Structure formats: C-alpha cells, structure tokens
Amino acid sequence: MPYVNLQITTGASREQKAAIVRAFTQTLVDVLGKKPEHTHVVIQEIEEADWGFAGELTDAWRKRQGAPERR
C-alpha cells in the first residue's frame, strides 16, 4: 500500500490538489505497478510563516523578492 505525504505551502486550489493526487497515483501505477485503489496521497498545507528555507521563513523570502502575498 503506497502512502505519499506531500507538504506544500498554502494556496493550491482543490482542482490543483486533485491533479496532484491523480498524477502521483498514476506515477506509482506506471513505475511500480501499484493498484490505484491501494494508493494513498495526503496533502498537508503549511502556512508560509511556518515554512523556512535558505535561512529564513518563506513569507519573509517572498516579501523580500517582491512576490505578491498569497491567499
């Protein structure tokens, strides 16, 4: 039983999440021959203020880059 735990920052639409689940499931079918009905994909959304990389929080990095605020 494959189990995929995907963590992303908040902001993906329901349609985008559905596409992710389909694509990850199909990849496991194609590559490993797994059954779709046995494949579980969990998407965890994390606030940008709770996610850090390159030594800073994602919301601070986005602000410094001039990226628009997400929501």
In a domain, 50, yes or no: yes
18 neighbors 56 (Cβ within 8 angstroms): no
The β-bridge relationship of strands 40-46 and 3-9 is parallel
66: Cβ contacts below 8 Å, ≥ 6 apart = none
Domain span including residue 38: 3-65
pLDDT score at 67: 74
pTM, to two decimals: 0.82
Selection from 41, 42, 56, 51 nearest residue 9 by Cα: 51
In a domain, 52, yes or no: yes
Q: What distance in Å separates the CA atoms of residue 12 and residue 46, rounded to the nearest whole number? A: 11
Per-residue pLDDT of the chain (71 residues; tens, 9 = 90+): 999 999 999 999 999 999 999 999 999 999 999 999 999 999 999 999 999 988 999 999 989 888 776 65
Q: How many domains does the chain have?
A: 1
Q: Which of 1, 2, 27, 70 is catalytic?
A: 2
pLDDT score at 42: 98
pLDDT score at 69: 65
Q: Tell me if residue 68 is catalytic.
A: no
